[in-house]
Amino acid sequence: MTKQWDAKDKTFIITGGASGLGAEYVKAFLGLGAKNVAILDIAEELGKAAAERLNKQYNDKVVFIKCDMSKEEDISNAFDTVLQKFKKIDVIINNAGIMSDAPNLWRTACEVNWQGLISLTLKGIKYMRKDEGGAGGTIINISSTAALTQFPFLPVYNGSKMAVLHFSQCIAMDPFYERTNVRVLTMCPGATDTPLLHNLEARAYQPNLGQEFVDMVKDMSLVYQSVEAATAALVHMAEYGAPGTVWLTIDNKPAKDITPVISRVFKDLENAIME
């Protein structure tokens, strides 16, 4: 497998970069020579502290911008601020997400997981695309193994992550890359040892299903992969992933390109439609 890309001297936007996997992505790409990183997150205190800490280590390469990914005005302002500050954007990692179907959160979760991701992706494509004067770039959209599986407790979350997967594949279809020089990649992380998997009983779309959800996860004996393994998988995908590909990271195993599997499933569905 041939390395296609290098983080050195690239300018990044990473959403949800104040904590969890997003924060690990920030550190990983800075360690690989990123020129600048903009952390977009709603968690202002955490984000400012992370930027301050990293700037001491990486010579003022990081900026924190408070951004609610459920609000279009915030996304637009943040994008413009990054361009004003760093003069370019080479990579966008759409990592921000909410895993909760609770009655008071599901709509916001949809706006963050899905609509906010679309908004920033489209802004990135318009800015980067070579057929409109841009220099090309990379957009990484974070889906989930929830997009590849079915279970009854998080139908909104599962649906939003399937939407991310399908959106990313459809927008990247040939001849998109040839025209734009924008590489769209999709990562599907499995269960990872982050706060996203805490308090599962409060995340089901119906409160009375919470304990069933917890019991199901226990019965599955899931291996919660480390954040280090998940981060290494994303870096590997960024360095080696061909345009339009979909990758999987689970069980502390190396990143796996599952594009042929996804393509085969959709081909089977197309054949079923034509029968």
Q: Is the dihedral of CA 144, 147, 148, 153 positive or negative?
A: positive
Which residue out of 25, 58, 127, 157 is catalytically annotated? 157
Among 225, 158, 144, 222, residue whose Cα is nearest residue 188 = 144
Distance CA 251, CA 222 (A): 8
Phi, psi of 122 (to 5 degrees): -65, -40
Contact 225, 198 (CB under 8 A): no
Q: Where are the alpha helices (DSSP H) in 98-186?
A: 106-110, 117-128, 155-171, 176-180
Among 84, 96, 87, 145, residue whose Cα is nearest residue 121 = 96
Phi, psi of 51 (to 5 degrees): -65, -45
**Active-site annotation holds for 157:** yes
Contact 111, 213 (CB under 8 A): no
Contact 35, 62 (CB under 8 A): no
- For the annotated catalytic residues, the residue numbers are 157
